[in-house]
Structure 1
Amino acid sequence: MAETVVQTDHERGAAPAPPPRGRRGRRTVLVASALVVVAAVAVVGALGLGGGGAEKGSSAPPRSGSTVPVTRTTLTERTTVDGQLGYGTEIPLPVKATGTVTWLPAEGTTVQRGRTLLRVDDRPVVLMYGALPMYRELGLTAGTQQETGTEGDTQDTGEQGGGTDETSGAPAPSGSPTPAGAGAGPGGAGGTLRGMDVLQFESNLAALGYTGFTVDEEFTDLTARAVKRWQKALGLPQTGTVGIGDVVYSAGQVRIGHAGVRLGSPATDDVLTYTGTSRKVVVNASAAEDSWAVRGAAVTIGLPDGKSVKGEVASVGKSATAPEGEGGEGGSAAPTVPVTITIEDQKSVGRLESAPVTVEYVGRERADVLTVPVAALVALAEGGHGLETADGRFVAVRTGLFADGRVEVSGSAVREGMNVRIPE
């Protein structure tokens, strides 16, 4: 009996029958679903889902990416505010001369000791250095003129200012200003003018090269002779007396600001303004955030050309004011206080006289703390922040100061030198 041999299509070499319609589509869907599940697991691991301990288990295999070590360092918070470079606030010159203004200096002119600030009735008003204002005439009194006015400089004695104060009988103590013409009392040099203002003027006179007298608190005949030589050099009548409007005192050389009057106008209190000659920066600091503005505090000034120079807080205003014409909805702008910053190295500023600048100051500082780049932080699902270790674990951390692109971190599972991953 013959056997019947049955061959399959595969044995005959025929192409396999196509799968039923729809099977390939289901296979594609299953593969795509698997990929979605894997991706979801990775995301869950990155977010720290599924656990709440300080150290998380490996919820996903380690991923490629850069790692950085946890380092111990000092973090310093720096803040930048806007400022204005210039010569400071202009203030009026205390000019006491009366008459018609006949000459004014150009704005921006630097005036030194012994130089003319302006001319009133064609008489020079001269700058001297000192803290006391010019509040009275300085010269020989009647008693002194009678005793010492015997030589060639005495032809002007009739023009000396002041007379004897009949109401004064006690001698003035050394260092105490005495009104012009006050007597020294019985037994003393009658009518000698004494005071710190005399010492201040004599110091200036000597600094200008007019000597031959003792620099002290007494205005003597020798002082008057030096004054006459000074007056002759200025083209003034040689009276030996310094008028109250002849001199203006300042702490040092000045830079002329704007004029408050025109030529031909009467001299007034605001005839001229001035500033110091050193460039400085003024910052209108928020009154609520001015704790950094302490006299002597070091700051860094950023110039428009990108260079930085060192500065120091010199003064802080005591009154807070709101900027004029500014303010948000429902209220005015935040009050500010003026902070003046000096620049010791004036050459470092170059030729700039006025410009907007930035001022960087140091705020908080945290020494010897563990830090990582801010980019290493990951947000945890249960709240807070964490770090991913090089082997894929997640550890919770507490964050502290943020500064210079790094952040202070702490926690029981964080140690110096451990490598953490920068999330991609």
Structure 2
Amino acid sequence: MKKLLAAAVLAAAGAWAAITFLGEADTGTAAPSAPAVPATAPVTRQDLVDTKTVEGRLTYSGERQVAVEAGGTVTWAPADGSVIRRGRPLLKVDRKPVVLMYGSLPLYRSLHRGVSDGPDVEQLERNLKALGYGDDLTVDDDFTYATHLAVLEWQEDLGLPETGRVEASQVVFLPGAVRVTDAKLSAGDKAQPGRPALTVSGLRRLVHVDLDTADQELARKGTKVTVELPGGERVGGKITSVGTVAEPKGDEGTTTIDVDITLRKPPKSRLDQAPVEVELVSERRANVLTVPVEALLALREGGFGVEVVEGSATRVVPVKTGAFGGGQVEITGNVSEGMKVGVPAS
């Protein structure tokens, strides 16, 4: 930030170089002088927010790879960007669908009459009921005859072998609806049990940042940020996840942590992996005196000053600088709220 401040001051100095190095070496002030400065701005008292902008990308939550247990020839695969909901096929192998159902527990065993009670049975029954199967089905952890009949009806509708047994080659349980990020298999490819077939994500949009570990203090869970999206749209957001593992960043010798940001409202852009800029708060200063950064003058003896305008006279007053943000800079010294300071003409 000091480099940015120095650059801004140098730019301002170039705009009105005639007064850049005012001030006597022993006092840092100059006698009242005229002519008047090109323009003035008031010394104001306000809260000042110092920010840092980092790069991120607009993406979707919960990306993960999905493997199927069906083996054979892929006869249908979804297009990238497709949204798949409960009861719909994630893939078709030998013309038989591998169906998405909702749940957190993977299908680790065959489910059929006589299987022991368990939460996986309840998970299956809940999905069958939601899909409209089993009028007499009670959702619990017991695979009953009513469950068997519901499975037969479901298999018949999907063109699956009517066995009454639900196999891992027929169903994949995921937490909810998914968006296909990358279909790794296409029609004609060979599906192999356990081989990743799709990369999917959730439907919620978020911003992901690979944050340099040197800036990790800027990323605290719950902190509000501002995101500039493609096309210039600016949306507020909140940091919802901060990684705890540093990962190498290419061959640059630096490391990053994962930071996820939830947006306050859905973005207009539908692009995945679109580049964005995230404005992080690096410092917040309350109730401080500020002036426009271009009001700062580089003094001959070092440091900065501002040119105070009093009627038709001016004098340069040395100041100490603090936080910088929004084009304003915090100053302390022999200045007070309401004073007028010189700035370049706009």
TM-score band (shorter)? 0.7 to 0.9
TM-score scaled by length of structure 2: 0.83
Q: Which residue of 2 aligns with 1:226?
A: 150
Q: What per-residue deviation string (whole Å, max 9, x for no partner) do you get for residues 71-103 of structure 1?
A: 100111122222222336853213223444333
CA displacement at 1:287 relative to structure 2: 1.3
- 1:210 counterpart = 2:133: yes
Unaligned runs of 5+ in 1: 1-42, 142-179, 181-192
Q: 1:273 aligns with which of 168, 179, 199?
A: 199
State the AA in 2 paired with 1:195: G
Q: 1:377 aligns with which of 280, 287, 296?
A: 296
Larger CA deviation: 361-370 vs 262-271:
262-271
Q: Is the 8 A contact 2:235 2:264 kept in 1?
A: no
Q: Distance in 1 between matches of 2:231 and 2:307?
A: 42
Q: Distance in 2 between matches of 1:265 and 1:314?
A: 39
Which secondary structure does the structure 2 equivalent of 1:335 belong to?
strand
Listed as ranges, the matches of 1:140-219 within 5 Å are: 140-141=113-114, 180=115, 193-211=116-134, 212-219=136-143
Distance 1:296 1:203, change over 3 A: farther
Q: Distance in 2 between matches of 1:273 and 1:61?
A: 70
Q: 1:135 aligns with which of 102, 108, 116?
A: 108
Q: Kindly indicate whether structure 1 or structure 2 has the higher relative contact order, using CA contacts under 8 Å at least 6 residues apart.
A: 2
Q: Which residue of 1 aligns with 2:240?
A: 314
State the AA in 1 paired with 2:150: A
- 1:357 counterpart = 2:283: no
Q: Which has the higher strand share?
A: 2
Q: Which residue of 2 aligns with 1:24?
A: none
CA displacement at 1:46 relative to structure 2: 5.6
Q: Is the 8 A contact 1:69 1:417 kept in 2?
A: yes
Distance 1:388 1:350, change over 3 A: closer
State the AA in 2 paired with 1:117: L
State the AA in 2 paired with 1:421: G
CA displacement at 1:357 relative to structure 2: 1.9
Q: Which residue of 2 aligns with 1:51?
A: 26
State the AA in 1 paired with 2:22: L
- 1:416 counterpart = 2:342: no
Unaligned runs of 5+ in 2: 1-17
Which secondary structure does the structure 2 equivalent of 1:204 belong to?
helix
State the AA in 2 paired with 1:343: L
Q: Distance in 2 between matches of 1:279 and 1:80?
A: 20
CA displacement at 1:250 relative to structure 2: 1.2
Q: 2:88 aligns with which of 111, 115, 129?
A: 115
Q: Distance in 1 between matches of 2:344 and 2:261?
A: 43
RMSD: 2.7
Q: What is the total number of aligned residue pairs between the two structures?
A: 322
Distance 1:47 1:423, change over 3 A: farther
Q: What per-residue deviation string (whole Å, max 9, x for no partner) do you get for residues 328-353 of structure 1?
A: xxxx3x2122323333533x324434
Which secondary structure does the structure 1 equivalent of 2:160 belong to?
coil
Distance 1:61 1:258, change over 3 A: closer
CA displacement at 1:52 relative to structure 2: 2.7
CA displacement at 1:199 relative to structure 2: 1.7
Q: Distance in 2 between matches of 1:267 and 1:337?
A: 34
CA displacement at 1:408 relative to structure 2: 0.7
TM-score scaled by length of structure 1: 0.69
